[in-house]
Structure 1
Amino acid sequence: MPLQTTPTRNAESPTAETYSELQAAYDFFNLELFAGELPPCLITLQREKRSYGYFSAERFQRADGTRTDEIAMNPTYFATLPLVEILQTLCHEMVHLWQHHRGNPGRARYHNLEWADKMKSIGLMPSDTGQPGGRVVGDCMADYPMAGGPFLGACEKLMTRDFQISWHDRFPSARVVLLSQQSYGLSMDLPVALLSVAGDKAAAALGVGHEEGQQGPIEALRPNKSLRDKYQCACKTNVWGKPGLKIRCEACRQLFAVVSA
């Protein structure tokens, strides 16, 4: 039976649509980057305030005693991160799952050299800053795509299967928007679909073509460009984000309003 990499659209069931998309991505990357070695796991959505996602070994148990691991994804960032970084988070946690079953994890939250080497092997460079030049091991680790690496190659292949993240949080905080603007992926020469928030539909809404010969400039989707609105709150904090965001300042508790650039 062929792998289902394009989840069935079901407008009546946001739950089924959301989780089928994440499961399709997990199954796809498992084959493309991990040679199908990874066992099934339970993917959840968790609003951990300072985490894009996390892995928890054998966190869930079925009534018959069967246990499974958890990969949690933080939906708060789905509205603000480029798609490539949402997929990075998933693959980052899949490396933790791989190490739990096939390697030797570091103590507690420590990302050790074995984890770092596996990350590099799938095309993700570990970095404690999320930028080139950061440390590759440590407690709090981010990563960025390696140009020409397996991860980006797999992402481009996935996008040919009409993949997207359909649902996102309408009310991300200003802190989340600011963090998302620091994504290294936004500075890379990547396909527009990977830099947009919800794949082809978001790019189409921004007026960016995807057909050969019609692809708009990558720069149009980066922060501080004409397709991003400038928002300001009562305490004069400025953020930039996609049009239509509803953002509340954690300092003055006021909603941000669109202002002229």
Structure 2
Amino acid sequence: MRPTQETYAELQQAFDLFNGELFSGELPACLFTLQREKKTDGYFSPNQFGRRHDGSKADEIALNPAYFGVVPIREVMLTLVCALVHCWQAHFGSPGRRRYCNREWADKLESLGVMPSKTGKPEGKRTGERIRGYIVEGGRFELACQKLLTAEFELSWADRFPARHVSAETLLAATEEEMSELEGAEIELADETPTKPSRTKYTCTTCETSVWGKAELQLGCRVCNSAYEVNEGEPA
């Protein structure tokens, strides 16, 4: 077995296909990492890595392996494509600050056959922190994803203890079909050491300042008069 080689070869295969099908092959090569960031399925960081000796730079695409065994592969690929849109923005557009998904990002994602939505449903906000989306039937992403999955593509390795890094809602939504191919890996859905954050982190939607407080507060920023939103990925 060569788990490192298998895992990164599969991610590179997916990157190459989506780059060609959705971005005309114009995206530069990225460096993949696996990061278990709480309630975060993935993210993009521009110029995160530098190559010794020649000064070359590479963007980072981080994916959370805890999701690999509890959501369909197409959902992992959706996370990848959302990151690729951030990559496209970094090189050819005008990205929002940090991980903010702005209107340009939302419009580009929609043009690829993914409808941006905070909730994953039609009424969700198109812009803001941690925006994902839902797949448009017959759209470019769905067609590209079908092409990838018909090429005997799979994610061979998955985190055996996803409950430590995935929301309870995601675990409850995991179906027998999604788990069937991973039975031999003995995926543990129960978290033996659950913790409940005592405070919630709120981040301003415009100037990105953050504050902490109890859950369900309605806060406004006195600097720019924008609303604070719950930063679900960083409980205190």
> Could you tell me which of 20, 30, 37 is aligned with 1:31?
20
Which residue of structure 2 lines up, in the alignment, with residue 245 of structure 1?
Answer: 188
> Could you tell me which of 32, 47, 52 is aligned with 1:58?
47
- 2:116 alignment partner, SS class: strand
Structure 1 residue 181 displacement after superposition: 5.0
- 1:44 alignment partner, SS class: strand
Contact 1:46 1:75 in 2 (8 A): yes
Deviations along 1:162-217, one digit per CA (max 9) or x if unpaired, are 0000100111117726332577x98xxxxxxxx9548xx829x7xxxxxxxxxxxx
- 1:176 alignment partner, SS class: coil
Q: Which amino acid aligns with 1:179?
A: E
- Asked if 1:202 corresponds to 2:181, the answer is yes
Instruction: Name the CA distance, whole Å, in 2 between partners of 1:88 and 1:243.
Output: 25
Instruction: Name the CA distance, whole Å, in 2 between partners of 1:83 and 1:95.
Output: 19
Which residue of structure 2 lines up, in the alignment, with residue 49 of structure 1?
Answer: 38
Aligned in 2, Cα 1:196/1:87: closer, same or farther, shift over 3 Å?
A: farther
Contact 2:163 2:171 in 1 (8 A): no
Which residue of structure 2 lines up, in the alignment, with residue 88 of structure 1?
Answer: 78
Contact 1:54 1:93 in 2 (8 A): yes
Instruction: Name the CA distance, whole Å, in 1 between partners of 2:171 and 2:78.
Output: 16
Q: Which amino acid aligns with 1:108?
A: R
Instruction: Name the CA distance, whole Å, in 2 between partners of 1:105 and 1:71.
Output: 15
Aligned in 2, Cα 1:252/1:121: closer, same or farther, shift over 3 Å?
A: closer
Which residue of structure 1 lines up, in the alignment, with residue 147 of structure 2?
Answer: 157
Structure 1 residue 159 displacement after superposition: 1.3
Instruction: Name the CA distance, whole Å, in 2 between partners of 1:182 and 1:170.
Output: 16
Structure 1 residue 109 displacement after superposition: 2.4
CA RMSD of aligned residues (A): 2.8
- Asked if 1:171 corresponds to 2:161, the answer is yes
Instruction: Name the CA distance, whole Å, in 1 between partners of 2:34 and 2:187.
Output: 23
TM-score (norm: length of structure 1): 0.68
**Segment of structure 1 superposing worse, 174-183 or 141-150:** 174-183
Contact 1:95 1:115 in 2 (8 A): yes
Deviations along 1:9-57, one digit per CA (max 9) or x if unpaired, are xxx2000000000000000000011111101110111111121001000
Which residue of structure 2 lines up, in the alignment, with residue 122 of structure 1?
Answer: 112
Which residue of structure 2 lines up, in the alignment, with residue 22 of structure 1?
Answer: 11
Q: Which amino acid aligns with 1:168?
A: A
Q: Which amino acid aligns with 1:161?
A: A
Instruction: Name the CA distance, whole Å, in 1 between partners of 2:117 and 2:162.
Output: 25
Aligned positions, number = 195
Question: How many percent identity over aligned positions?
Answer: 47
Contact 1:83 1:196 in 2 (8 A): no
Contact 2:160 2:186 in 1 (8 A): no
Instruction: Name the CA distance, whole Å, in 2 between partners of 1:80 and 1:90.
Output: 16
Deviations along 1:128-170, one digit per CA (max 9) or x if unpaired, are 1122210101122121111111111111111111000010011
Aligned in 2, Cα 1:17/1:251: closer, same or farther, shift over 3 Å?
A: closer
Contact 1:33 1:151 in 2 (8 A): yes
Instruction: Name the CA distance, whole Å, in 2 between partners of 1:196 and 1:17.
Output: 23
Structure 2, unmatched stretches of 5+, are 197-236
Contact 2:37 2:165 in 1 (8 A): no
Which residue of structure 1 lines up, in the alignment, with residue 58 of structure 2?
Answer: 68
TM-score (norm: length of structure 2): 0.74
Aligned in 2, Cα 1:114/1:159: closer, same or farther, shift over 3 Å?
A: same
- Asked if 1:97 corresponds to 2:87, the answer is yes
Q: Which amino acid aligns with 1:19?
A: Y
